[in-house]
Amino acid sequence: MSGRPTPAGGVSFWRAVLLGLLLAFGGVAGAAAPRTELVIGITQFPSTFNPNIDSMVAKSYVLALTRRPITVYDKDWQLVCLLCTELPSIENGGAVVEPLPADHPEVAKRQGVAVTFTLRPDAVWGDGTPVTTEDVRFTYAVGRHPMSGVASAELYKRILSLDIKDKQRFTLHLDRLSFAYNAINDFQLLPAHLERPAFENPAEYRLRTRYDTDTVNPGLYFGPYRIAEVVSGSHIVLLANPTWWGRKPAFQRIVVRVIENTAALEANLLSGSIDYIAGELGLTLDQALALEKRHGPRFDFHYKVGLIYEHIDLNLDNPVLADRAVRQALLLALDRDQISQRLFAGRQPVARGQVSPLDWVHGDDLPAWAHDPARAKALLDAAGWSELRNGIRYNGKGEKLSFELMTTAGNRSRELVQQVLQSQWKAVGIEIRIRNQPARVFFGETVSRRQFDAMAMFAWVSSPENVPRSTLHSSMIPTPANNFSGQNYTGFASAEMDALIDRIELELDRDKRKALWHRLQAIYGEELPALPLYFRADSFVIPKWLKGVEPTGHQYPSALWVENWRAE
């Protein structure tokens, strides 16, 4: 048997065979194919993909991969431009203080401000249409219409007029010089060339928006990715957007898988079905801590305590909950310190109100409402709920002191908290009935339309020094008349609170503003339109090979900087 000699430095027959096998089954060391896909697990499916309708973390997270706001707070909690070329300010001449129109009802009380923004000239929608001030004009029209149902209706009410300078430059004439005059984070641009027909009947815009009727249309997006496939309740596929003007993203394809049960979410991570669990909407803290003990070497774990306020909204239209003494008794009956220690290893601090201790305006001497079941019982007795039958309180009319507590189904942490709350309230004679719903129903219908009978447990994720106009001002109560815009789901109405919110926004002096904030928090702590639970820590479970993910700790998610993510 003859053969050919192997040249010096060549590869023998058997080594060639071995090399071929190695290449066929994944390559040799140092020759692994680059990762082109990232699979992210989250626990909720968006109720809509329209950037201006409804407030839901799941929607914000997915859209952060596909869009860029004009301004936003970054990971350092600083306001920055993403879709504009420079942040306008009074100091750099981009904002100019001006008098209000002579016929404005507040003309004698305050000043207005004109703020000029310049859109990035290279910004392009996914179908190749340039992003221009025509989109600004259309978005303004949608936001201003009382029947459009946008969540941030208050922002558009403040804009007295819009001046279009050219295709990139526009000026907003605002009806007040507030301390955050140049933050227009919620002015989320809509593609005029696609959305205008859907807005022909504003009252039906929620149902006709192309973000929900034609979600995979490339022209709806202008970020690093565009949505290419949607399977409701299951997953969303995003592809790299060829018209994106910024840094080229490392992954050609991102799949966002929705697994509402957090135990199943963890199982999918360990099996490799998903690569990464988004901290903004993933494992609860107790699960992440347990996972780190068992599988710490496999992943990087980051715990980000931030502006995430876990609480229970109370429907104040409920005649029993309309009694402040009952609301106070509900909070006194809870041992929130025990919940934090036993379920979350003390990493989620008990909340005294809606303002985080990490925010500079937080008041340190506010009512604590420490666990005091004896005082809770006394308040309930005085409120008329003094008769006990089988351990549950009744009033003189024979009505049972019983409430329905709702939250997002499948969230193990919240379901555990519900059980503890149920037990602690039963100890003072209050019956709790638990009824949960999928997140897209709970947020898309039940909470946003105030259809919960008594209690809705969820979290508000806010930005630094976020004035709670949308959640506490009486004008922000969702009703059919305003097409359910606004986020005051409790129905709280207080003339003093309304006045404080107005004053805080207009106060430019930080010391004076902090004093106003203190009074606002004191009212919240006494009135208790919602029951404060704790400030949540988000748990990021990141594979060792994924780099560049930087948690922000506020409502604008890490996915807004997805172009910086990479595989190493």
Q: What is the full DSSP assignment across 222-243?
A: -SSEEEEEEETTTEEEEEE-TT
Least Cα distance to 536 among 444, 462, 430, 431 occurs for 462
Interval 231-255: pLDDT, tens: 999 999 999 999 999 999 999 999 9
Whether the per-residue pLDDT at 354 is higher than 70: the answer is yes
181 sits in which H/E element: none
Interval 67-126: pLDDT, tens: 999 999 999 999 999 999 999 999 999 999 999 999 999 988 899 999 999 999 999 999
Q: What is the mean pLDDT of the chain?
A: 91
Asked if residue 281 lies in contact with residue 430, where contact means CB atoms within 8 angstroms, the answer is no
- The Cα 58–Cα 56 span in angstroms is 5
- Residue 34 is classified by DSSP as P
3-state DSSP: the chain helix, strand, coil percent, rounded to 5? 35, 20, 45
Pairing of strands 71-73, 79-81: antiparallel
What is the model's pLDDT at position 139?
97
Residue 225 bridge partners (DSSP): 240
What is the model's pLDDT at position 32?
59
Q: Where in the chain is the domain with CATH 3.40.190.10?
A: 38-302+538-567
- The Cα 334–Cα 102 span in angstroms is 53
Banded model confidence at residue 56, pLDDT cuts 50, 70, 90: confident
Length of the chain: 568
- The Cα 557–Cα 461 span in angstroms is 10
Distances (CA, A) of 522 to 23, 353, 370, 438, 469: 67, 9, 16, 34, 16
What is the model's pLDDT at position 140?
97
If you average pLDDT over residues 334-360, what whole number do you get? 92
Q: What sections of 372-494 are H helices per DSSP?
A: 373-382, 412-426, 439-441, 469-472
- Residue 179 is classified by DSSP as T
Q: Of 28-37, 103-112, 299-308, 511-520, where does mean pLDDT reach its minimum?
A: 28-37
Interval 406-445: pLDDT, tens: 999 988 889 999 999 999 999 999 999 999 999 889 998 9
Estimate to the nearest angstrom the gap between the alpha carbon of 503 and the chain centroid. 26
If you average pLDDT over residues 386-404, what whole number do you get? 97
- The Cα 61–Cα 240 span in angstroms is 16
Fold held by 307-536: Dipeptide-binding Protein; domain 3 (3.10.105)
The Cβ of residue 451 has, within 10 Å, a number of other Cβ atoms equal to 13
3-state SS, one letter per residue, for 507-548: CCCHHHHHHHHHHHHHHHHHHCCEEEEEEEEEEEEEECCEEC
Interval 151-172: pLDDT, tens: 888 889 999 999 999 999 999 9
Angle between helices 336-344 and 412-426 (to 10 degrees): 150
Tokens of 379: 């308040």
If you average pLDDT over residues 190-198, what whole number do you get? 98
Percent of the chain surpassing pLDDT 70: 94
What is the model's pLDDT at position 13?
33
Tokens of 11: 């590869």
Least Cα distance to 460 among 60, 181, 49, 40 occurs for 60
In 3-state terms, what secondary structure has residue 553?
coil
Asked if residue 83 lies in contact with residue 190, where contact means CB atoms within 8 angstroms, the answer is no
115 sits in which H/E element: strand 112-118
Q: What sections of 272-369 are H helices per DSSP?
A: 285-295, 324-332, 336-344
- If one looks up domain 38-302+538-567 in CATH, what number appears? 3.40.190.10
**More confident of the two residues 483 and 224:** 224
Interval 261-292: pLDDT, tens: 888 999 999 999 999 999 999 988 888 999 99
For 200, residues 6+ apart whose C-beta sits below 8 A from its C-beta are: none
What is the model's pLDDT at position 284?
84
Least Cα distance to 93 among 122, 117, 71 occurs for 117
Tokens of 365: 């001497």
What is the model's pLDDT at position 372?
98
Percent of the chain surpassing pLDDT 90: 81
Q: How many CA atoms lie within 13 A of 450 on its CB side?
A: 21
If you average pLDDT over residues 52-59, what whole number do you get? 88
Residue 150 bridge partners (DSSP): 53
Least Cα distance to 110 among 95, 128, 98 occurs for 98
The Cβ of residue 567 has, within 10 Å, a number of other Cβ atoms equal to 17
The per-residue b/e assignment along 317-337, b for 16 or more CB within 10 angstroms, e otherwise, is ebebbebebbbbbbbbbbbbe
Interval 200-214: pLDDT, tens: 999 999 999 999 999
- The Cα 294–Cα 510 span in angstroms is 47
Question: For the chain, what is the total number of helices (H) and then of strands (E)?
Answer: 17, 20
Q: Give the burial class of 431: count Cβ atoms within 10 A of its Cβ; 0-12 exposed, 13-18 middle, 19 or more buried.
A: middle
What is the model's pLDDT at position 285?
87
Tokens of 303: 């715990």
Q: Where in the chain is the domain with CATH 3.10.105.10?
A: 307-536
- The Cα 37–Cα 39 span in angstroms is 7
- Residue 84 is classified by DSSP as B
Residue type, 40: I
